[in-house]
Structure 1
């Protein structure tokens, strides 16, 4: 029955095969520009205009191809970036590190605390969140980690900074906020070093929602991929101005980067740096909002990158 359902899904939307084959590495032989055009078409049903990009998503594809700043690889590496954060804004903004492992076999499970988080350093969404060692399915976690450690995130969306990141696993302290059971992270979008949008995701595991705010915490009536709810009141973090300032230090004058922070028990913690939000494939509603965000990336400043 599962195979039949899969076949029906692809018969209904055959373009999804590009995404599936890309994730499995079957398109690794296709050059980046051609693959990105295929992927963009398959996910958005639109032609990718690399010669004259205007939307946010189009410009992210352009930046994948032509903005090859070697610093980015260190910043997307979840272990190496810690050194940059310590040097740039201070060690106090780092979630405490328990250990780092070269392989799954190196993890000493018995020595881990009751609660912890395991993260692969070379990709995204590859986390094991343990709130109780007693209920953790260790064998299932090991199976996931082994699969992730063999994966190279570059090949799916051609986000080149991930290509040569060394696969490792870090173990961080499990963080919780006494005042909020749903731990929120604040994703700040920087354009040429200036913050413009703050994204807050919530209800991730029970109906993912996403609200957008400007830097003065005014609600933006638009959505990126996930539904938004103007009636959902998300309190402005008390230290949002400090977050914006810290992010500006990290963003420097890069064409575009998203800096994520957590605000836990009145303390700011760094989350991650992302250069291609949603791989440049997420849906904007209204579509004009995607055009507006695209206008904030001035590719004329990056002409020297396109050789």
Structure 2
């Protein structure tokens, strides 16, 4: 066996197990058993589905009981554009260059000098191209082909992804001349109200990702979720913060909980995506009290009367 593989197994055996049971060949495992197993492997804690209290626990329960077909289109990065346009307006969408059903359909010669290629149905199938002359086309095709073959649902049993038809979309390359890295503005909405804002820095480089947590009034909290805070050069309060909050609440009003992502580029607001299960409900909280506090904001019984 390859030495690197052996070292990886020794270093993090749980990760190997999670990867194995997250394979589509283990789809026969019932959702509840799957989630309890993966939750324990990832958090070292037992999953309480009968009386969930924390944010992570309630997200796991929502995976099981929230089966709204509408959510499939909303996690589809291509189809969600129609929802965004109808809800808040086309002006908030990143301009679309083209869409493809397969890698073979892409004519790289026709693409502009800068662009972004990404799959519509998973996390990680993204190719950011700031200079087409330096693009490794072979590697790009490999990344996208791998993404097209993946059903993101099996990794964490997030129902909305189960029936998304895989596509590739090409969007315009967006950049802020005043910032060295792209910042993701994430609005955590509960019953259509923003309760927390997270700023993710360097989102394309997990080894350098930082995350600041703010309240609705833009007060930087000491809380940390998975990533360390950026305290050296935190950005100022966005001039259009109130508008982003209003837009997030419009997009999230039908659901118990959803994270609404925006980019704030050159003083313009651009929609990113909708996420119903932040980090698939396996986020690492520095302070467990904050995990409970966010959990208390998800009102499951009022949304799902049969429970």
Secondary structure in 1 matching 2:260: strand
Secondary structure in 2 matching 1:100: strand
* Cα drift, residue 12 of structure 1: 4.8
Following the alignment from structure 2 to structure 1, what is the Cα–Cα distance between the partners of residues 89 and 267? 17
* Cα drift, residue 68 of structure 1: 1.2
**Per-residue CA distance 1:162-184 (angstroms, 9 max, x = gap):** 00000000100000112112121
**Per-residue CA distance 1:125-181 (angstroms, 9 max, x = gap):** 211101111100000000111111010000000001000000000100000112112
Q: Could you tell me which residue of structure 1 aligns to residue 52 of structure 2?
A: 53
- Contact 1:27 1:35 (C-alpha < 8 Å) held by counterparts: no
Q: In the superposition, relative to structure 1, how do residues 147 and 60 fare at CA in structure 2: closer, same or farther (>3 Å)?
A: same
* Cα drift, residue 234 of structure 1: 1.7
Following the alignment from structure 1 to structure 2, what is the Cα–Cα distance between the partners of residues 18 and 223? 27
**Per-residue CA distance 1:11-55 (angstroms, 9 max, x = gap):** 454332331103433422211111000110010011100001000
Q: Could you tell me which residue of structure 2 aligns to residue 211 of structure 1?
A: 212
Q: Could you tell me which residue of structure 1 aligns to residue 257 of structure 2?
A: 256
Q: Could you tell me which residue of structure 2 aligns to residue 129 of structure 1?
A: 128
Following the alignment from structure 1 to structure 2, what is the Cα–Cα distance between the partners of residues 4 and 304? 53
Moved more, 16-25 or 205-214: 16-25
Following the alignment from structure 2 to structure 1, what is the Cα–Cα distance between the partners of residues 56 and 20? 21
Q: Could you tell me which residue of structure 1 aligns to residue 221 of structure 2?
A: 220
* Cα drift, residue 305 of structure 1: 5.8
Following the alignment from structure 2 to structure 1, what is the Cα–Cα distance between the partners of residues 172 and 75? 20
Following the alignment from structure 1 to structure 2, what is the Cα–Cα distance between the partners of residues 303 and 4? 50
Following the alignment from structure 2 to structure 1, what is the Cα–Cα distance between the partners of residues 40 and 306? 25
**Per-residue CA distance 1:69-96 (angstroms, 9 max, x = gap):** 2211110001100001111100000000
Where in structure 1 do 4 or more consecutive aligned residues deviate above 2 Å? Answer: 2-18, 22-27, 203-206, 229-233, 302-306
- Contact 1:222 1:286 (C-alpha < 8 Å) held by counterparts: yes
Task: Calculate the TM-score normalised by the size of structure 1.
Answer: 0.95
1:215-294 aligned at under 5 Å gives the runs 215-294=216-295
* Cα drift, residue 5 of structure 1: 3.9
Q: Answer yes or no: is 1:78 the counterpart of 2:91.
A: no
1:14-53 aligned at under 5 Å gives the runs 14-53=13-52
Following the alignment from structure 1 to structure 2, what is the Cα–Cα distance between the partners of residues 259 and 197? 11
Following the alignment from structure 1 to structure 2, what is the Cα–Cα distance between the partners of residues 241 and 31? 42
Q: Could you tell me which residue of structure 2 aligns to residue 295 of structure 1?
A: 296
* Cα drift, residue 4 of structure 1: 2.8
Structure 1: gaps (5+ residues): none
- Contact 2:187 2:260 (C-alpha < 8 Å) held by counterparts: yes
Following the alignment from structure 1 to structure 2, what is the Cα–Cα distance between the partners of residues 120 and 198? 26
Structure 2: gaps (5+ residues): none
Following the alignment from structure 1 to structure 2, what is the Cα–Cα distance between the partners of residues 18 and 178? 43
Following the alignment from structure 2 to structure 1, what is the Cα–Cα distance between the partners of residues 286 and 295? 14
- Contact 2:183 2:202 (C-alpha < 8 Å) held by counterparts: no
Secondary structure in 2 matching 1:190: strand
Q: Could you tell me which residue of structure 2 aligns to residue 199 of structure 1?
A: 198
Following the alignment from structure 1 to structure 2, what is the Cα–Cα distance between the partners of residues 124 and 154? 11
Corresponding pairs, count = 305
